[in-house]
Structure 1
Amino acid sequence: MSSVSLPAGNSSTQPSPIQQAAQSILSGATGSTLDVNTLVAALVTGNTAGRASAIARQQQSDNAVLSSLSTVKSALSALKTSLEGLADGSIFSQFAASATGKGIVATTSTGAAAGSYSVYVEQLASANQISSKPFAHDTALGSGTLTIAVGDATMSIDLDAKNNTLTGIAAAINGSAHNPGVTAAVVKGSDGEHLVLTSKQTGAANTVSVSGTNGLDAGLATANFKQVTAAQDAKLTVSGNPVTSASNVVKDALNNVTLALSPAAVGTTQTVAIEADPSAIGKAVQNFANAYNAWVGTHRQLSAFDPATRQAGPLLGDSMLNSAVNGLSRILASGVTVDGKTYSLGQIGLDLKHDGTLDFSASKLQAALASNPASVSSVFNGKNGIGQQLDKVLGEYTLTTVGQMDKRTASINEELKSLTKQQGELATYQQTLTAQYNAQFTALNRLLTTINNSKTYLNALFGGNGAAGTLNKRG
């Protein structure tokens, strides 16, 4: 049986479970029945409480670290994401497009090149619309097959007494799964009802036509429809070169540049300029500064110590966190040499403050972009650019499975599994120990009861403890 150290007694406090158990033994030896349950519980607790407490403390610590690691990884991942476009340089090859007048909205996509172009818009693309001759309301238009075509695409509708009115025809056209790209509507004019068909697509090739088999009203033929709007392509010139487009969104005239045309542009000549997009670069750098400052706030909170409450953050003194902090800070504090000239972040609008955060100056960045845009790009994505250096280091921590964060997390989870197993083993040991002590002290209790009964018998026989004694009376 393991030995248990008893704490010093104190008359002003309640005795501990061990002390109570000891007193129970003493009272049992002097004639009282042992309190076996209290005694056993105290001894089992004395043997296992330390280990149980140690396991619980380690579990609490591991779970706190796990939660903190998740927070750290989230902050580092956000910082890595903020470098997209900066580290690979793609943000510096983005261009913005603008037009000098109204009616042209120019936008760019990846791969656009800088330049200035004269654009004259002669006409817009339009969708063909045709209208039938007038019919009286609910006029039956015969039976047969009606064919609707838009350009080379066609659809056929079988008409009979159930659907051979204008309303029935319009519903059949709009509801057909084989609709070639036309919408139908019934317009009620002063002269009667008209079936109006409109191509869903603009362009000269998307002309709407109608034909029908014998048995259908002759009014359901293209010859009996009047043209409301002609199908036509957009026509424009770009730097003197003629361009036609079936759509008013012109995508092929300039590489990776889209020109959206509206009526205000017709008959006008405008200049479309494709230039580097400093606002996109400024936004990207601002996002990077915000993400870095968020990272600084995160690691400070998790590694702080509050002297007033004497509470320490779960990652105070953590070597992996310190390594990440020092590695990233060192990169930001170092200059970047480009073509023999060294640049610092401060020269492009990012000042590293004493508290470790970044202060971003949009005006300083824009000035650097205006005077030497290549240097700004090189600071981030050159061979030794800050963006590339940061991206590499961040990857070492945040990559799934193989990154340091995931490896550390996996290790702690394994430790938690081991602690859970130890808890189970300790619970089993407690049960075994309880059974063992119960058996031992139940036997001791029986022995003390027997001794007590024997003492009572002897006192009654020989006298003592206030009894005269049976044998003494005989004398």
Structure 2
Amino acid sequence: MSSISTTSSTASANAELQSAAQSIISGSTGNSSMDVSTLVTALVNAKTAGQTAALTAQQTSDNTKLSAYGALSSALSALQSGITNLANGTTLSTFTATATGSGLTATAGSGAVAGSYSVAVTQVASSQALSSAAFGATTQLGTGTLSISVGGKSMDISVDSTNNTLSGIAAAINASSNNPGVTATIVTGTDGAHLVLRASNTGAANVINVSTSNVTTDNGLSSLGVTSTASTTGGQSTITSANSSSAWTQSAVAQDAEFTVGGIAASSSTNAVTSAIAGVTLNLTSAAAGTTQTLTVAQDTSSQSTAINNFVSLYNTVVTTMSTLTSYSSGASSQGALLGDSTLQTIRNTLASIVGGAVGSGSTAATLASIGITLKGDPADGTLVVDNTALSTALTSSQATVAQLFNSTNGIAEQLNTSITNFTQTGGIIDTRNTALNADLKSITTQQNSLALYAAQLTSQYQAQFTALDTLMATMNNNSQYLTQLFGGTNSAGALATNKA
């Protein structure tokens, strides 16, 4: 393409030069004045057109290759990102956890092991809620200090004439920067307004205690004292009010979740239980209380199949991208930007060798073909195709083969990951080619600047020379016309001959 462009530019410059030469001939014969501007432009173009076209063609070629390497790097990076969890073994360590009843769900994560577990739930964890006796909504309860503790943390609320109503006390509790984990609301019933305190966290240890001190004016403030006691046997919390005639009530108890796993007793302060089964989180709701269910932990073959199919799709994108960049069509005006490029060929061969190779040796060697992934019908195509029936069978019946094929040490995904890093990292073969192309572009820019300066100098020089020539020829033409008028020409008599006659 660059040869065609250079030839075209040279032909155009020659045509301009011929036109300018005709201008000189016409000017010298007196038919018209010389077109200095066109002549100068033609001469400068004739001097620089070839080099200009060659530099432009090389610049276009370099930029095209940079774009091509960018497309290749993008496809490689997408593949690398998509196989991360296959390369590090995370995907093959995914499990599902399914319970047979209601109120119990589970998620399996790192460290989970396939198995079946009997889970019997006695009670679920809950947070304590206390309601005070009824007071008037605007009753000023007195002044003093209200101390509230939850789970071993406490705060003091100063009660004075600005906040000594139930709503004022509730607002002060919620606004405190030292709040230990309790929220306060006002619930108004037919008997009056009640202060309701609720612990933010579940569990028997998170009981609420309220005490008063420094009470100077008492119109019910001291009645807000209450002592809560957590059960030590897995039961519910109990309370004792400071004033039995204005007693608190416990509308929700503080308790731990109590359950057994395979007959082994366990408890948890929350309903998201992470300590009972390794790698498994049990999630309990009230519907699970009083039930015995079977929890099955199994390989998540659906997610694994999706990840493997995604790997094949991303790999095929890389292969297709490389095929486009090296495409060849006889007679076409342009070919693939990296046709015959040794860097791309190295990458192509490396990737093909990995996906076509085996992990392990001898009779225990595992290949992609052994789990239903093979080359497309035409080997030259290079893309992979998945037999999902065979893959599903491998995932359910030959997990050891799949695990070997995608192990985190020398599995196929890890080999690809390592190779792609080597290709795309700073100092890698793609970066090296990009560096060389950018250096060439910088050199081309320098040459173009020098050429532009040279063209400007030629233009100035030719402008002066041919302006002077044009002036000289105009003078000569004028003299010729005068002499012809005076002495006569080929077909006429001059003024002197006429006067003589």
TM-score, normalised to structure 1's length? 0.89
Matched, 1:391 2:421: no
**Alpha-carbon distance in structure 1 between the residues aligned to 2:414 and 2:267:** 44
Hey, what does 2:471 align to over in structure 1?
Answer: 446
Cα shift at 1:130 = 0.5
Hey, what does 2:363 align to over in structure 1?
Answer: 340
Hey, what does 1:118 align to over in structure 2?
Answer: 118
Cα shift at 1:371 = 3.3
**Alpha-carbon distance in structure 2 between the residues aligned to 1:335 and 1:243:** 46
**Alpha-carbon distance in structure 1 between the residues aligned to 2:301 and 2:254:** 41
5 Å matches for 1:343-422?
343-353=366-376, 354=378, 355-381=381-407, 385-399=411-425, 401-422=426-447
Quick one: structure 1 residues 102 and 429, their matched pair in 2 at CA, closer, same or farther if it must change by over 3 Å?
same
* AA aligned opposite 1:221: G
Aligned partners of 1:463 and 1:472 also within 8 Å: no
* AA aligned opposite 1:230: V
Aligned partners of 1:338 and 1:375 also within 8 Å: no
Hey, what does 1:290 align to over in structure 2?
Answer: 313
Aligned partners of 2:366 and 2:404 also within 8 Å: no
Hey, what does 1:102 align to over in structure 2?
Answer: 102
* AA aligned opposite 2:105: V
5 Å matches for 1:2-401?
16-31=15-30, 32-213=32-213, 214=215, 215=217, 217-222=221-226, 223=241, 224-306=247-329, 310-338=333-361, 340-353=363-376, 354=378, 355-381=381-407, 385-399=411-425, 401=426
Paired residue secondary structure (1:327): helix
After superposition, the CA RMSD in angstroms is: 2.7
* AA aligned opposite 2:16: P
Query: For each residue in 1:194-243, what CA deviation from the matched residue of structure 2 results, as whole angstroms up to 9, or x when unmatched?
Result: 11111110011111122333035233322242211111111112233222
Query: For each residue in 1:49-85, what CA deviation from the matched residue of structure 2 results, as whole angstroms up to 9, or x when unmatched?
Result: 2222222222222222222211111111222233323
Moved more, 77-86 or 381-390: 381-390
* AA aligned opposite 1:357: T
Paired residue secondary structure (2:156): strand
* AA aligned opposite 1:177: S
Cα shift at 1:309 = 5.7
Aligned partners of 1:251 and 1:258 also within 8 Å: yes
Aligned partners of 1:462 and 1:472 also within 8 Å: no
Cα shift at 1:307 = 5.5
Structure 2: gaps (5+ residues) = 1-6, 227-240, 242-246
**Alpha-carbon distance in structure 2 between the residues aligned to 1:381 and 1:402:** 28
**Alpha-carbon distance in structure 2 between the residues aligned to 1:171 and 1:79:** 55
* AA aligned opposite 1:445: D
Aligned partners of 2:137 and 2:167 also within 8 Å: no
**Alpha-carbon distance in structure 2 between the residues aligned to 1:384 and 1:127:** 50
**Alpha-carbon distance in structure 2 between the residues aligned to 1:298 and 1:237:** 56
**Alpha-carbon distance in structure 2 between the residues aligned to 1:156 and 1:173:** 9
* AA aligned opposite 2:352: S
Paired residue secondary structure (1:381): coil
* AA aligned opposite 1:129: A
Cα shift at 1:435 = 0.5
* AA aligned opposite 2:417: D
Query: For each residue in 1:307-364, what CA deviation from the matched residue of structure 2 results, as whole angstroms up to 9, or x when unmatched?
Result: 6864423223322223322332233233444453444322202121123322212321
**Alpha-carbon distance in structure 1 between the residues aligned to 2:111 and 2:368:** 28
Paired residue secondary structure (2:19): helix
Quick one: percent identity of the two aligned structures? 45
Quick one: structure 1 residues 453 and 308, their matched pair in 2 at CA, closer, same or farther if it must change by over 3 Å?
closer
**Alpha-carbon distance in structure 1 between the residues aligned to 2:409 and 2:128:** 56
Paired residue secondary structure (2:222): coil
